[in-house]
Amino acid sequence: MDKKVIGIDLGGTTVKFAILTQSGEIQQKWSIPTNILDEGTHIVPEIIESINHHLSLFTMKAEDFVGIGMGTPGSVDRQKGTVIGAYNLNWKTTQWVKDEIEKGTGIPFFIDNDANVAALGEQWKGAGENAPDVVFVTLGTGVGGGIIMNGQLLHGVAGAAGEIGHITVDPDGFMCTCGKKGCLETVSSATGIVRVARKMAEEYAGSSELKTWLDDGQSITSKDVFTSAQNGDHFANLVVDKVCYFLGLAAGNIGNTLNPSSIVLGGGVSAAGEFLRSRVEEHFLNFTFPQVGESTKIKLAELGNDAGVIGAASLAISK
Amino acid sequence: MDKKVIGIDLGGTTVKFAILTQSGEIQQKWSIPTNILDEGTHIVPEIIESINHHLSLFTMKAEDFVGIGMGTPGSVDRQKGTVIGAYNLNWKTTQWVKDEIEKGTGIPFFIDNDANVAALGEQWKGAGENAPDVVFVTLGTGVGGGIIMNGQLLHGVAGAAGEIGHITVDPDGFMCTCGKKGCLETVSSATGIVRVARKMAEEYAGSSELKTWLDDGQSITSKDVFTSAQNGDHFANLVVDKVCYFLGLAAGNIGNTLNPSSIVLGGGVSAAGEFLRSRVEEHFLNFTFPQVGESTKIKLAELGNDAGVIGAASLAISK
C-alpha cells in the first residue's frame, strides 16, 4: 500500500482532519471542536488523541504515513515546529506543537500558518492547477494571503511575506488595526466592505434599499451588499465597484511584481463568485503591464473548506 | 586550480566582461564597444572573438571554466538561450545566443535579462549580503527590477516578474509608455523625476532656482533636482519628497507582499545616495505592516557597474 498523509486545519472553532493519498485525494475526513479552555492546553493532546483514535478505527499504523502537515493561526517557527501568538486559540506563549505531536503519534510533523497552507491547497489541487507560480488571497473577516513561486511558499525574512491584506491601496484611506492607513483589508474584508458602504452612503443622494438599511442603522453584512448589487441596487453596485477597484489595484501590483499564472480569490467574500471575479479582473487589467495582463489570470478558489487540510497535507509530501 | 567563471554584461553601448572565481572575486575585467550595425549580427561573433582572444592572452583554456553567464536587454528564453526584441541592440528577430557562444568557445552558457542579472549581483556580493530574499530596484532611464526569494530569481509565468517600474503608484497619474497610468517609472526614473518637477513647478508660488530654470525652458536633469534639493532649494525638496513618497509606497507594498531582508536601490538616480535612501525609507515605514517595517531594510546598491558581470557569472555557478 502506498503511504498516506494526514492534513490538519487548526481553526478557532474546529480542528479539521483528513487522510489523503500522496497525490492529494481525500480518503477520510473528520473534525473535532477546538477546546480553547485553560490557555489552549487541551488542543494538542486532543489532536493527538483524535488521530490515534481514528487510526485505530481505520486499522492503520504510524508506519502507513509519510507525515502529518498542519496549518495554524499565529506566528509559526517552521524549523522548531512551534506556534506563538495565536489569540483565537488562547495560545499566548510558545507551543511546542511538533515535538508533542511527533511524540504522541510517532509520525513526522510539519507546520505552517493557515493562510500559507490554504494557498498551497489551492495551488496544488484547486484553481492554481499545480502551476509553480500562484498567489492566493483570502477575503474573510480579515484579508490574508499566501504566495507560491517556483513551486515554493515564500515566507520572507521574518515570515511576513504574503501580508496582502496590508498592501496600501488608499494612502489617505481608513485606519487599519495594524496601525497604518488604507490597507486592502480595510476596504475588502467582510467588515471592510460594510465600512465602504457606510462611508459611501453618506454621500449618495439617490434612492437605494441598501442605503435605507444603513441610514436606519440596521446592521448589514458584505453578503447583503453583494445581494443588493446583484438585484440591481445602483448604490450597492457603486460599493461593489469601489471594493473591486481596490482589489484590482492590489492584484494588479501583485501581478506586476510577481507575474504568477493565477491570483486566486478565496474566503467567505469570494462566495459572491463570478460577479466579484469579473469586476476585479476588469480593474486588474487597467492596473497591469500588458504582458502581465495577458498571462496572469484572476480566478475563484475551488476547494472551499478543504483547501486547509489539502494544503497542510502537502507540507509533509516531497513533491 | 579551481575553475573560474566568465560574466558578461551586454549593453547598448559596451559589452563588459569579467573573469571571476566561483566565490565571486573579479580577477580580470575588460570591455568592447557594442557593434549594433547590420541588425546587431556582429555582436555575438565579437563576444566570442573577445573571449577567445583574452583566454589566449591569459593562457587559459575552455576547460578552466565552469561556464559563461550573460545579462542582456530584451526578452530571454533561458532554456533555449535565445533573445528577441532587444531594440537597443537592433535585435528584432530571435538570436540563438547560447548555441553560438557555446559552439564558439566550448564553454557552457547561461543567460537572463539584465535587470535580473544585476539583482543577482547585488544579492550575492553587494548590498544584499547573500541573503536568500532580496529585491533590487534600478532607477535609471527607466525603472526595472529583479526579485530573489528563497535564493532563486523569480521569473513568473511569462517572464514578467520584477516589472517594478510598472507598479501603479498613482492611479490618476501620468501616462506610461506601457499604456497604463501612474506607473512608478513615470515618477521615479531620471526622466520621471524631471516630469514631476515640471508638473509641480506649475503650481509652486515661492522663489526657487530650480523653478526658474524650468520656467525659463531650460533642460534639467534628475541630478539637478537632487543637487538643488541638497543645496536647500525648497521647491526641489518638495519634488524629491514627492518622488520618494512614490518610491516608498511601491517599496512598502513590495515589502508587505514579499518581506525580503532588503530592497536595494540602484541605477543612476541612486547616485543621490543617503539623501535619497533615507527619504524613501521614511515613506516606506509609513506604508508597511509593522513586522515588515522592522525586518525589511531599504539599502543603496554597492557594486555600481560591476553588478552586471558579477550577477551574470552567478548564473553559471551552482551555489
The topology under which CATH files domain A129-300 is Nucleotidyltransferase; domain 5 (3.30.420)
List the one residue out of A13, A308, A319, A14 whose CA is nearest residue A136: A308
In this structure, what are the phi and psi dihedrals at residue A171, rounded to the nearest 5 degrees?
Answer: -50, -25
The residue behind cell 492611479 is B171
Which among A143, A241, A253 is the top mutation candidate for probing chain B, defined by the most B β-carbons within 10 Å of its own β-carbon?
A: A253
Contact A168 B131 (CB under 8 A): no
Q: Is the Cβ pair B147, A295 closer than 8 Å?
A: no
User: CA-nearest residue of chain B to A284?
Assistant: B168
pLDDT of residue B233: 97
Spatial separation of the C-alpha atoms in residues B243 and B189, rounded to whole Å: 9
Picking from B166, B140, B284, B182, the residue whose alpha carbon sits closest to that of residue A257 is B166
* 3-state DSSP percent of chain B in helix, strand and coil, to 5: 45, 25, 35
Q: Where in chain A is the domain with CATH 3.30.420.40?
A: 4-120+306-315, 129-300
Cα(A135)–Cα(A7) distance, rounded to whole angstroms? 21
pLDDT, tens only, A47-68: 999 999 999 999 999 999 999 9
A287 neighbourhood in chain B, CB within 8 Å: 168, 171, 180
A4-120+306-315 to CATH, choices 1.10.645.10, 3.40.50.10140, 3.30.420.40, 2.60.40.1150: 3.30.420.40
pLDDT reported for residue A132: 98
Cβ of A294 under 8 Å from any chain B Cβ?
A: yes
Residue B51 CA neighbour count, 13 Å, CB half:
31
Q: Do B256 and A167 touch (CB under 8 A)?
A: yes
Within chain B, which residue ranges are assigned CATH 3.30.420.40? Answer: 4-120+306-315, 130-300
Q: Buried b vs exposed e over B159-172: b needs ≥16 C-beta within 10 Å?
A: bbbbbbbbbbbbbe
Q: What is the pLDDT of residue B318?
A: 75
B133 in A contact zone (CB under 8 Å): yes
Q: Does B164 touch chain A (CB under 8 A)?
A: yes
Put simply, the chain A residues between 203 and 262 with a CB less than 8 A from any chain B CB are 249, 252-254, 256-261
3-state secondary structure at position B259: coil
> pLDDT band for position A318 (50/70/90)?
confident
- Is the ipTM here above 0.90? yes
The model's pLDDT over B172-205, given as tens digits with 9 standing for 90+, comes to: 999 999 999 999 999 999 999 999 999 999 999 9
Q: Is the dihedral of CA A299, A302, A305, A311 positive or negative?
A: negative
β pairing state of B82-84 and B75-77? antiparallel
Which whole number is the average pLDDT over A59-85? 96
- pLDDT given at position A306: 96
Enter the CATH code of domain B130-300: 3.30.420.40
Average pLDDT of chain A to the nearest whole number = 96
CA distance B27 to chain A (A): 32
- Chain A residue closest in CA terms to B135: A257
Contact A272, A226 (CB under 8 A): yes
Rounded CA-CA distance A159/A179 in Å is 19
Contact assignment for B295 to A157 by CB distance below 8 Å: yes
A178 touches chain B (CB under 8 A): yes
Joined together, the cell numbers standing for residue A271 give 462566495
Q: Do A180 and B289 touch (CB under 8 A)?
A: yes
Cβ-based contacts of A168 with chain B (< 8 Å):
249, 252-253, 256, 287
Residues of chain B falling short of pLDDT 50? none
User: Of the candidates B164, B179, B253, which has its C-beta nearest A290's C-beta?
Assistant: B179
Give how far A99 is from chain B: nearest CA, Å: 26
Degrees, nearest 5: CA angle B71-B76-B81: 85
Strand bridging mode B14-21 / B4-10: antiparallel
Say whether B163 and A133 touch across the interface (CB within 8 A): no
What's the CA dihedral at B256, B259, B261, B267 to 10 degrees? -50
**Which amino acid is present at B137?**
V
Distance from CA of B152 to the nearest CA of A (A): 8
